[in-house]
Structure 1
Amino acid sequence: MRHANGPDQMKTNALPARASMAAGQLVLDNIDYDERATMRAWESFLADEPKCARDPVHVRSLIHDSWYRSATGGINAQGIEAPLSSDRDEIEYLTRANAELLSAARRSFASLGQLLEGTGAMLVLADSDGVLIDAIGDKKTLHDGMDIHLGIGGKWNEDAVGTNGIGTALWTGEPIFVHAAEHFCAGIKSWTCAGAPIRDPLDGKIIGVVDLSGYSPIFRPHNTALVAATARQIEKALAEQQQEQRTRLLEAFISSAPSYRRKDGLVIVDHRGRAIFCNNVPNGDTTEMMDGPMEPGRGRWLMNLPASGSDTDLANALPAHLRSCHVTPLKLDGDLRGAALVFPSVPAVSSMTVIRREENKHLRTASAMIVGESEKLLAAVDVASRVAGSKGVTSLLIEGETGVGKELFARLVHAGSRRTENDPFIAMNCGAITKELFGSELFGHVAGAFTGASRDGKPGIFELANGGVLSLDEIGELPLEIQPFLLRVLEERVVHRIGDSRGRPVDVRLVASTNRDLKQEVAAGRFRSDLYYRIGAVSIHVPALRDRGDDVLLLIEHFNRQIAKLAGNDPLEFSNDALDALLAYRWPGNVRELKNLVERLHILTRGNTIELQDLPGEISAGNRNTMAMHGDHPTAMLEAPVCTFEDAERQAIKNALTAESGNLSKVALRLGISRPTLYRKLGQYGIRRGFI
């Protein structure tokens, strides 16, 4: 077994963590890197993997998690090299498939390659599968790298060789480094490497990794910063290439389509079938989707281009919802490099437009249920919407306290994922099912599978949710013994009913939600780490109501009008003191508590105005204390200069506009009047919202 050649005592961590040097040691992230201690931790991990999964060994969490993935993925910890393809045809295919990436990296590699000679370091470029497609640097290091197959054709993703700078950067999607004994395989523990993912500027997908490697003495904290900067340079070059190709495809289309009219809808796709230019394509509420950097359609995958450039093959490659458009192949230098999709401006709007409008309608309807304007909430909505529109993401983990509205986000994902009106949405609360019935509820059973089983058998919720979304609330309550079966269904997309050997394919998007800290549950051994990584690949945190600021006022207005409409009454009005108290309250029950309060006020309040004394004691008491602290006494009011009622009202509206930054909904709530009344007052006093 080869060990690292670096100093015995070093402390390391991945950027962007803060680093400092003290007494010859590198201190990062409050975790000490000690060569011997890390080797002992690795040996302990291999000796008792289940225990180490529950009680992480003394290594960085990033490394521990990768070790666990490597071990459970069947990687040989005593391995000495990565898999290597030396087949010329395969290498040639890799070169052709990654021609754009290689071209974009050429300038950066050429400038850095000259500087690396004699440094003991090498710079490598890998594709999205972790296969090396280029390598430059110190000649001796390049030669020694072939001992472990760190050369062109070597496969360095985690599934092939375990924890390493290339594969772990691909997994995490972030710049990282893996130093010496932190590698999973024994044969590469004398190396150190820092890798950074390269993302496609058009759609943000990871298309490769740039990595700096060498024997462990080359380690420096800034190695990660170097590869991250190189990755950004490559991405910039890619963006320039894509812009040039976009211009050339547009020119090719103009020269090949003289009958095209400006009022026709036009989408141009690149050689990967992604939209790179859109014009006059209806999209949601807008009549035109103008081309530009913020254009909603840019980067969206639409079709697979055939190998041949014939019109017939290209037309056959169109998805069903695009068959009504006219498609034209676009060739550059004799090769098929894109296509133009033209939607004639006739009354019969294309089926693509109709479907997109329906999809947007569903998404807007679901989004409208989530009331708020705070940055944290909108960020969560944005992630959920992107997951809904993604074809590659099959699961989402929603975390947040009880009552924050996690199910609304699950419904948002369902709305954005819908392909037909009948796509199901199935929800189950794991905390409401007895331990004995979990298997039957999730997977179903055949007739007579167990005592009490249905005579005709029963499908489980996975089958019921086929083609749609399955929402599992309180996923942390799932019994430990059921979790492997759930993981198997998610991985294989096949469900087996209890008592049945026949598998049933299912196409289900899982949305799991929890109010627990699942990382702590994994550490405590109550939740499987492999299932956590599977369902938590993409996660969102729904903020607590106390962290959403003035969203409280928007929610009060929303529930107030909603409940009033159902009861056939006028909405309640809230005094300033009452609104201040509601804003100051901490809302331990979150949105659910607020809605229940508004319902209670509608039922119990005799008048139509809510005063401070109408609120529950725990809410009103907090505001009285605030008023006392600020010295709001009647005597102070008596000393104010006398003015007319109209002057006072005008000034109150101006003050509210200033306090709420011109948001009329919040201003109306703060003043305790309806929005129509506020509009009338603004006109009466000649106040413009933009005066502030």
Structure 2
Amino acid sequence: MKIDALPARAPLAGRQMVLGNIDYDERATMRAWEDFLADEPKCARDPIKPSHVRSLIHDSWYRSATGGINAQGHEAPLNSDRDEIEFLTRANAELLAAARRSFASIGQLLEGTGAMLVLADSDGVLIDAIGDKKTLHNGMDIHLAIGGKWNEGAVGTNGIGTALWTGEPTFVHAAEHFCAGIKSWTCAGAPIRDPLDGKIIGVVDLSGYSPIFRPHNTALVAATARQIEKALAEQQAEQRTRLLEAFISSASSYRRKDGLVILDHRGRAIFRNNVPDGEATEKTDGRIEAGRGRWLMNLPSSGSEADIARALPAHLRSCHITPLKLDGDLRGAALVFPSASAVSSVTVIHREADKHLQDAAAMIVGESEALLTAVDVACRVARSNSVASLLVEGETGVGKELFARLVHAGSRRTANDPFIAMNCGAITKELFGSELFGHVGGAFTGASRDGKPGVFELANGGVLSLDEIGEMPLEIQPFLLRVLEERIVHRIGESRGRPVDVRLVASTNRDLKEEVAAGRFRRDLYYRIGAVSITVPPLRDRGEDVLLLVEHFNQKIAAASGEEPLEFSHEALAALLAYRWPGNVRELKNLVGRLHVLARGRDIGLHDLPEEITAPASGQSAKSSDNAVISPEVPEGTLAEAERQALKNALAAEGGNLSRVAQRLGISRPTLYRKLEQYGIRREFV
């Protein structure tokens, strides 16, 4: 007799019903199971399936038998340890939260039905159960309770484990179970897939004694699984938004053109932007696409940048890392791929063994008293063993680095003593500490995996030149002072100190005394680096040194290009001598180089010189009022006033083109921007 359902108290034997496309016969199924077990060598050779046993069930019996499952077993393994259950709950918090609404609504309807609804994780371990109280109690007899393990490898054929194996909604009824002790039960399970990557993360199952079987039980659990997946998708969308917000709030240096990959707490890519093909694909065997959830790494629970950096695959370690926390817990990470390789502002120079103090002094061209006084002081500092630092002050372009090289040449003990030059005005505030003191691997976002020495370590045994030291952030200055006093440097992220033997030459185009008075530079650091100081005079105060420099650069450029030197007329030389040179020696060098390229002949007259040089210092009546700015005149007064006028002159001369202005003055664009803001100069030409 074929029936769709049986009375609640019908005996086990003799039942018949339609399961799938075949007739289910309780006795025939039991005989097939007994025959299957009777000849183990035969079943191990994958026996022929009886016609009245579903292929799904027969295949599962075969897996159970070959997997060593005890067919006479009466229960599933159970882990009742409280700590383990608590860990299990935390590990599946997202799945439990997503299932909460569905379980609450269905659970109210199961009382008195003889059915229970259970939730299992990806390993088939039960993490939640609701339903008819009596059935929940009876389920304890076979360990169908929280902590029970119901995958096929633990308890053989059953609705939970077989659904996990097949990846499809599945029911297992009565005698179809592999273990004898659970053949009085019926169960229907449906896998739950992660919406992000499609992996099975759990099973929802409806179970009870065999009389509860209905053909639509499988449809019920499949619909419930879809509801849970929908809730998971909503949770993930919210988390994705929050992680993006967390990144935006913490990524002050991120640029729109940089590549960006956001990872969730499982190390899967949930957002991708501007990451070219192949940039982050080696680990994933395919492109990273937003929302695809490709796995990239195991996100370490510590949440430290160092640990995240170590966990990254090798081809991703050039990226910058930002751990992302939500509600105080690590919930993801941001990988930023700079659009172009960062150009280091630190230059390492190793001097040749045959360089001597006199050779270095000869590179400083000039005979003016002010210049020779500065050279004399620098030479004495270079020869001294008691003076560890020197402060070189002077306007932009006067040649302050030459004095640092002079100190290095005079204090050289071996041919390989290093000379390290760093421009403080070219370092971002965020990277200042790393450039100065170095860092250990993964100490901060963008830190190299293996760590990196700072300029103090690189300069050990030699000279460190810190140009534009007045640009150093105030919060970094105490650490510099400590290194200078203790002669020990600590890399960022490292407690171990590293001894350093470094002679410091600091240079600045600012008036550091004014900076100290304004609170922008530490007084104690100023006195520490300025125990001995020299002032390199501006070119306008060096008299006929201008003519010596013109001849020096003229001969040098001609020799480098294989051409004859230029010939300057008396009128041209007089104009060069009278000019105020707001860009100092650097401006003069650039002018001579430009003349070698653009002059129509080898003879240079007034007509070959720029207008700002040939125009008289006064008498601009024929010019518009705007051209008054072009006047090379620099007001008498403080260095700051002179610098302000030099900026205005350069802006006017270059038509407001900031790139050319920065090049003309020999400073970086960021420094130019700061100075324009500092002096309140509007960029009318931009």
Shorter chain as normaliser: what TM range? 0.3 to 0.5
Please report the TM-score for the alignment, with normalisation by the length of structure 2.
Answer: 0.46
Larger Rg: 2
